[in-house]
């Protein structure tokens, strides 16, 4: 447990800032139940492909995946991005949700290392979740652990960043709890890269989203659909 807390603390220590989510709710609820967020679909000439993703990464999306969370970074050195959830209907991909988001404060990299404050480009599985708060109805295995996900820095800006997290399967053992400390590629290649609550600025390497977006994803990402993330700056995504 100590190692997990230290790992989470190291991840959070590099985070900076916190603020409003800046997007419309993803899970508004009401008499008719939860609603999808408004979606402005990216232009696509082939509905059987994820828009804006070139052959190199398109080929890495597993054939049995029915859910893709695409992160479109504004630029190689930008912390700003847009996240779109696509779900497969027959042979076609349909956009069902979109949010403003943040990635590493220094942007993106195809060769991530500990401390570079860049988010790794690639295709990664989404196999487990957790957080400080009670399970909101997650389809992914959910690990509630107040101590493992507790922020180590004082102040309101960091108070809720790990209320909900979804592990991104970069340099980790898929299916283990998000705070699992094992790094198969070695510690120098970084790890502990998650989807978590947005704090209004770039991260150390994670992707951050509004709270309602995280709840929506936890209730929507289905292990039976083999969900994956495709993420990077727009130029690398198109390569």
Question: Looking at the domain assignment, is residue 25 inside a domain?
Answer: no
Average pLDDT over residues 221-229: 98
- What is the overall mean pLDDT for the chain? 85
Which long-range contacts link 171-176 to residues 24+ away (Cβ below 8 Å)?
A: 174/125, 174/127, 174/128, 175/127, 175/128, 175/141, 176/128
Question: Looking at the domain assignment, is residue 9 inside a domain?
Answer: no
Q: What is the pLDDT of residue 216?
A: 98
CA atoms 215, 216, 221, 222: torsion sign = positive
Longest Cα–Cα distance in the chain: 50
Q: How far apart are CA 110 and CA 90, in angstroms?
A: 32
Question: Looking at the domain assignment, is residue 13 inside a domain?
Answer: no
pLDDT reading at 153 higher than 80: no
- Residue entry with tokens 């997007």: 23
How many domains does the chain contain in total?
1
Question: Looking at the domain assignment, is residue 45 inside a domain?
Answer: no
Q: What is the pLDDT of residue 158?
A: 75
Range of the domain at 137: 55-238
pLDDT reading at 111 higher than 70: yes
Contact partners, residue 155, CB within 8 Å, separation at least 6: none
Q: Categorize the per-residue pLDDT at 148 as very low, low, confident or very high, splitting at 50, 70 and 90.
A: very high
Q: How far apart are CA 42 and CA 53, in angstroms?
A: 11
Question: Looking at the domain assignment, is residue 4 inside a domain?
Answer: no
Question: Looking at the domain assignment, is residue 114 inside a domain?
Answer: yes
pLDDT reading at 44 higher than 80: no
Average pLDDT over residues 143-170: 89
> Structure pTM?
0.82
Phi-psi region of 119 (alpha: psi -120 to 50; beta: other; left: phi over 0): beta
Q: What is the pLDDT of residues 56-81, one digit of tens each?
A: 999 999 999 999 999 999 999 999 99
Q: Which residue has the higher pLDDT, 179 or 20?
A: 179
Q: Categorize the per-residue pLDDT at 152 as very low, low, confident or very high, splitting at 50, 70 and 90.
A: low
């Amino acid at each position: 447990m100590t190692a997990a807390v230290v790992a989470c603390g190291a991840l959070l220590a590099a985070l900076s800032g916190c603020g409003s989510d800046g997007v419309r709710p993803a899970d508004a609820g009401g008499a008719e139940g939860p609603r999808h967020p408004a979606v402005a679909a990216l232009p696509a000439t082939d509905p059987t492909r994820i828009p804006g993703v070139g052959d190199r990464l398109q080929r890495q999306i597993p054939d049995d995946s029915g859910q893709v969370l695409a992160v479109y970074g504004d630029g190689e050195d930008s912390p700003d991005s847009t996240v779109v959830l696509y779900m497969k209907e027959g042979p076609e991909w349909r956009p069902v949700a979109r949010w403003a988001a943040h990635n590493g404060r220094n942007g993106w990299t195809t060769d991530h290392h500990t401390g570079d404050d860049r988010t790794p480009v690639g295709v990664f599985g989404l196999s487990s979740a957790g957080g400080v708060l009670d399970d909101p109805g997650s389809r992914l295995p959910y690990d509630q652990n107040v101590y493992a996900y507790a922020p180590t820095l004082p102040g309101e800006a960091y108070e809720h960043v790990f209320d909900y997290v979804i592990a991104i399967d970069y340099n980790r053992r898929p299916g283990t709890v998000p705070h699992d400390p094992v790094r198969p590629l070695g510690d120098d290649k970084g790890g502990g890269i998650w989807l978590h609550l947005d704090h209004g600025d770039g991260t150390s390497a994670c992707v951050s989203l509004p709270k309602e977006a995280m709840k929506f994803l936890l209730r929507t990402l289905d292990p039976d659909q083999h969900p994956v993330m495709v993420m990077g700056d727009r130029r690398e995504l198109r390569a």
